[in-house]
Amino acid sequence: STTRRFHFNVEWKKVTRLCHTKQLLTVNGQYPGPAVVVNEGDTVEIKVTNRIAHNTTIHWHGLRQYRSGWADGPAYITQCPIRSKQSYTYRFKVEDQRGTLLWHAHHSWQRASVYGAFIIYPRQPYPFSGSHIQSEIPIILGEWWNDDVDKVEKQMLKTGAGAKVSDAYTLNGLPGPLYPCSTKDTFTANVDAGKTYILRIINAALNNELFFAISNHTLTVVEVDAVYTKPVHTKAIMIAPGQTTTLLLRTNHLSDGEFLIAATPYVTSVFPFNNSTTVGFLRYNKSKPVNHLNRRRLITTLSTRSVLPDMLDTKFATRFSDSIKSLGSAEYPCKVPTAIDKRVITTISLNLQNCPENKTCSGYDGKRFFASMNNVSFIRPPISILESYYKKQSRGVFTLNFPEKPPSRFDFTGVDPVSENMNTEFGTKLFEVDFGARLEIVFQGTSFLNIENHPLHVHGHNFFVVGRGFGNFDEEKDQEKYNLVDPPERNTIAVPTGGWAAIRINADNPGVWFIHCHLEQHTSWGLAMGFIVKDGPLPSQTLLRPPRDLPKC
């Protein structure tokens, strides 16, 4: 097989957006960072050199990392961070995945600007039919912060309050003309009429799920999280942070003109979000030269609201998510486990914590916010969990007692959610499964601060979303309704606000794997845990030895 090599320098670069110039953390001075483009079956070697004064790591989000857990990237989970002036080479094989993924920094809030596309070309021709593809348009959705995000995170943890929101949403790093001073910084995709284009959509935003649409055009979903789906035709998509998708765009019926490309947050309560919308343009090549006045007019006549679902449109979000199904063809069968060996039910919640003595907290009611799973707020250990597990030195690093059922005092739809979501425990708790175990995890939302979906991301494995619903998960009744035929296979699931999602995993990848909310603010508050997959009986089912250049803590 081919080995593809890349060199990433993590470095500062002066960047201006919204008339605000700042030092932005980048890879190779690029924002968004460089795309990693490989073929299915390739071995990838990415040398990451840290050219800043802080620690860093890079995560290859959604890449399976089969037996190569050392290359996964989350700081203190599978590696110690790469220190200033040091390098680490991430080495892994890309197998049995094809489509659009992303990479991003996995240390504090660095992924605010350190992210890029990870594109895998398939061995076999695309399964979606017919028309020949003209070209590809990658669109990475992100957030621009005028402030230093490191300070935003520190401030948030210090006061116990929620972080402020970003200053703009972006398309490929460009906020677009609805924001101050951004007309120049507008993303434009040029297309010919009568063709089919591949759109690669990546949500790299820190803290928001987004709706995305193009005016007067139907989008066809053909792949999510690098797994083919049955084609879904839709006016808009909902995409959670960490999710990626490939869409087909047909430019059939039109010969010239400009159309809005737009994205806006999806939330279930307007507080504390503003109604920011990022806008770009799809421009037919025969159109008249770009005219900013015309573009303004286009935005006002075609209000972005008529292009995108309303930001509170849970019905749309639910319908869209439920419409996604695995392709499940003879060539790409859906390998959902139809029976399970273990079920873990865990709450995913925000909590209030008493303020430490001599401190003032401004979360709510003089208390500070935290987040937890089964009432355990995840604490990042001082050294890498994978390394301490591998060396059988877990003491002081992690324990294997993550509760597999919620503490009984939670009633997820309770009328007094505040008192039900009080002081959490803090800890670094994981659970362990045998190699090959068929695992089910049910994520159960709770009712306190119930304003947005939690996008839960699992490292090292894809999973099958066998069920989703509102209210309390009912262990008996709800499993009867599971989809065990063609559930979507993904790595990040938007658990409905005020509801639950059940996922199934073939736990066939030995190592230590992080599970967390992909809203960065919630990860900082501890909405995370992990699981360990033990080695299998065969030598080919064990975790490989750590690479020599693995960073030390």
Q: Which residues bind ligand C2O (CB under 6 A)?
A: 59, 61, 74, 104, 106, 242, 457, 459, 514, 516, 518
Residue 32, preceding peptide bond in cis (omega within 30° of 0): yes
Residue 358 class from Cβ within 10 Å (0-12 exposed, 13-18 middle, 19+ buried)? exposed
In the complex, what is the shortest distance from the CB of residue 416 to ligand C2O, in angstroms, rounded to a whole number?
33
In the complex, what is the shortest distance from the CB of residue 426 to ligand C2O, in angstroms, rounded to a whole number?
20
In the complex, what is the shortest distance from the CB of residue 106 to ligand C2O, in angstroms, rounded to a whole number?
6
Residue in 197, 187, 239 with CA at minimum distance from that of residue 218: 197
Nearer to ligand C2O by Cβ, of 325 and 459: the residue is: 459
In the complex, what is the shortest distance from the CB of residue 138 to ligand C2O, in angstroms, rounded to a whole number?
17
What CA dihedral angle connects 299, 301, 306 and 312, to 10 degrees? 60
In the complex, what is the shortest distance from the CB of residue 457 to ligand C2O, in angstroms, rounded to a whole number?
5
Q: Are 38 and 4 in contact (CB under 8 A)?
A: yes
Nearer to ligand C2O by Cβ, of 205 and 219: the residue is: 205
Nearer to ligand C2O by Cβ, of 61 and 429: the residue is: 61
Nearer to ligand C2O by Cβ, of 186 and 244: the residue is: 244
CB count in 10 Å sphere of residue 315? 10
Nearer to ligand C2O by Cβ, of 59 and 200: the residue is: 59
Side-chain-side CA neighbours of 212 within 13 Å: the count stands at 31
In the complex, what is the shortest distance from the CB of residue 61 to ligand C2O, in angstroms, rounded to a whole number?
4
In the complex, what is the shortest distance from the CB of residue 479 to ligand C2O, in angstroms, rounded to a whole number?
28
In the complex, what is the shortest distance from the CB of residue 234 to ligand C2O, in angstroms, rounded to a whole number?
24
Side-chain-side CA neighbours of 46 within 13 Å: the count stands at 29
CA–CA distance, 205 with 169 (Å, rounded to integer)? 8
DSSP H helices in 94-238: 149-159
Q: Are 163 and 157 in contact (CB under 8 A)?
A: no
CA–CA distance, 162 with 101 (Å, rounded to integer)? 29
What are phi and psi for residue 184, nearest 5 degrees? -65, -35
In the complex, what is the shortest distance from the CB of residue 295 to ligand C2O, in angstroms, rounded to a whole number?
34
Nearer to ligand C2O by Cβ, of 211 and 514: the residue is: 514
Nearer to ligand C2O by Cβ, of 332 and 402: the residue is: 402
CA–CA distance, 180 with 353 (Å, rounded to integer)? 38
Number of residues that this document lists for the chain:
553
What are phi and psi for residue 418, nearest 5 degrees? -65, -50
Instruction: Please give the residue whose beta carbon sits closest to ligand C2O in the complex.
Output: 61
> 382: alpha, beta or left, given left = phi > 0 and alpha = psi -120 to 50?
alpha
Nearer to ligand C2O by Cβ, of 314 and 491: the residue is: 491
Q: Are 426 and 377 in contact (CB under 8 A)?
A: yes
Nearer to ligand C2O by Cβ, of 478 and 520: the residue is: 520
In the complex, what is the shortest distance from the CB of residue 269 to ligand C2O, in angstroms, rounded to a whole number?
25
Cβ partners under 8 Å of residue 151, min gap 6: none
N- to C-terminal Cα distance for the chain? Answer: 34
Residue 360 class from Cβ within 10 Å (0-12 exposed, 13-18 middle, 19+ buried)? exposed
Nearer to ligand C2O by Cβ, of 429 and 516: the residue is: 516
In the complex, what is the shortest distance from the CB of residue 523 to ligand C2O, in angstroms, rounded to a whole number?
8
In the complex, what is the shortest distance from the CB of residue 474 to ligand C2O, in angstroms, rounded to a whole number?
30
Q: Are 512 and 530 in contact (CB under 8 A)?
A: yes
Nearer to ligand C2O by Cβ, of 518 and 522: the residue is: 518
Nearer to ligand C2O by Cβ, of 160 and 242: the residue is: 242
What CA dihedral angle connects 28, 455, 172 and 80, to 10 degrees? 0
In which order are the strands placed within the sheet that holds 58-61? 36-39, 115-121, 99-105, 58-61
